[in-house]
Amino acid sequence: MTATPKQDESIDTYAYFCAEEPEILLDPLDESKGTWKAPAYQYSLGQGIEDGFLATYKVHKVRTSVDKNGLLLQEARIQGAEIYIPEEAEPRQRYLTGQFEREITLPDRTATMVEHLAGLLRRFGPKEKTMVFCVDMTHARLVARLLQNEFAELGYSNYAVPIVSEEGEAKAWLEQFQDSDRITPIVATTAELLSTGVDVPSCRNIVFMKPISSPILFKQIIGRGSRIDTATGKEWFRIIDYVGASRLFDEWDRPLGEPPQEITGVRTSIIEGTVLHADTGELLVGASVSALIGVNQQLSPILTDDNGYFRLAALPAGKIRLFVRGNGFCSREITLETAENESLTVALELKPVKPPVGKIRVQGLEVTIADEVTFMVDATGEQLTLTQYLDYTKAKIRGYVPDWSQLHQIWTDSEQRKIFFNELISASVYIEILGEVLGQPKADQLDLLAHIAFNKPIHTRDERVEAFLNYEQPYLERQTEEAREVILGLLDKYRLAGVEEIVNPEVFRLSPFQEMGQIKGVIQRLGTMENLRQAFLEIQQRLYRQ
**How does pLDDT run across 249-295, given as a tens digit for each residue?**
765 555 333 434 455 667 889 999 999 999 999 999 999 998 877 64
Amino acid at 257: G
pLDDT score recorded for residue 220: 84
Task: Please name the CATH architecture into which domain 45-253 falls.
Answer: 3-Layer(aba) Sandwich (3.40)
Residue 356 has pLDDT above 60, yes or no: yes
Task: Look at residue 267 in the predicted model and tell me its pLDDT.
Answer: 84
| pTM listed for this prediction | 0.57
Report the C-alpha gap between 302 and 18 in whole angstroms.
21
Q: What percent of the chain has pLDDT over 90?
A: 32
The whole-number average pLDDT for the span 382-388 is 75
What DSSP letter does each residue of 500-514 carry, written as one string?
A: HHHT-GGGGGSTTTT
Note the pLDDT tens digit of each residue in 326-351. Answer: 988 888 888 898 988 999 999 999 99
Among the listed ranges 25-34, 251-260, 373-382, 486-495, which one has the minimum average pLDDT value? 251-260
Residues 6+ apart with CB under 8 A from 325: 10, 287, 288, 331, 332, 350
pLDDT of 374 > 70? The answer is no
Percent of the chain scored above 70 by pLDDT? Answer: 82
Does residue 297 surpass a pLDDT of 80? no
Which residues on neighbouring strands pair with residue 240, listed in sequence order?
60, 207
DSSP state, 354? P
| CATH number belonging to the domain at 267-339, selected among 2.60.40.10, 3.30.420.40, 1.10.1580.10, 3.40.1160.10 | 2.60.40.10
Q: What is the largest CA-CA distance in the chain?
A: 96
List, in order, residues 6 or more apart from 528 with CB less than 8 Å away: none
Q: What mean pLDDT do residues 58-77 have?
A: 89
pLDDT at res. 511: 86
Among 245, 201, 244, 194, which Cα is nearest to 220's?
194
Higher pLDDT, 432 or 390: 390
- Which of 33-37, 251-255, 305-309, 523-527 tops mean pLDDT? 305-309
Domain range list for the chain: 45-253, 267-339, 385-459, 462-543
More confident call, 53 vs 538: 538
How far is the C-alpha of 17 from the C-alpha of 27, rounded, in Å?
23
pLDDT at 54 (0 to 100): 79
- For residue 413, is pLDDT > 70? yes
Q: Three-state DSSP class for 47?
A: helix
Mean pLDDT on 378-395? 77
How far, in Å, CA of 443 to CA of 449, rounded?
Answer: 10
> Would you say residue 228 has pLDDT above 90?
no
Strand order in the sheet with 160-162: 160-162, 187-190, 130-133, 205-208, 236-241, 56-64, 369-373
Residue 226 has a pLDDT of 78
pLDDT of residue 276: 94
- With cut-offs at 50, 70 and 90, classify the pLDDT of residue 124: confident
Please give the pLDDT value at position 133.
Answer: 94
Question: What is the band of 377 on the pLDDT scale with cuts at 50, 70, 90?
Answer: low
Q: Summarize the confidence of residues 447-459 as an average pLDDT.
A: 92
Does residue 35 have a pLDDT over 70? no
Q: What is the mean pLDDT of residues 213-231?
A: 80
Is the Cβ–Cβ distance between 237 and 205 less than 8 Å? yes
Whether 92 contacts 99, CB under 8 Å: yes
Residue 243 predicted with pLDDT over 50: yes
| 221 three-class SS | helix
Q: What is the pLDDT of residues 1-26, one digit of tens each?
A: 455 554 444 455 556 666 666 666 65
Q: What is the pLDDT averaged over residues 303-310?
A: 94
* pLDDT greater than 90 at residue 199: no
Alpha-carbon gap, residue 464 to 500, rounded angstroms: 15
pLDDT in the model for residue 422: 84
Bridge partners (DSSP) of residue 423 are none
Tens of pLDDT along 91-113? Answer: 888 999 989 988 999 999 999 99
State whether the Cα torsion 69-106-218-230 is positive or negative: negative
**Mean per-residue pLDDT over the chain, rounded:** 83
Chain center to CA of 75: 35
Integer Cα distance of 433 and 442 in angstroms: 11
State the first-to-last Cα distance of the chain, in angstroms, to the nearest integer. 55
Per-residue confidence (pLDDT) for residue 146, from 0 to 100: 95
Closest CA to 239 of 131, 140, 111: 131
What is the reported pLDDT for 507?
83
Q: What is the pLDDT of residues 497-532, one digit of tens each?
A: 888 888 887 888 888 888 899 889 989 998 898 988
Give the pairing of strands 318-325 and 288-294.
Answer: antiparallel
Q: Which of 58-62, 174-178, 407-411 has the highest mean pLDDT?
A: 407-411
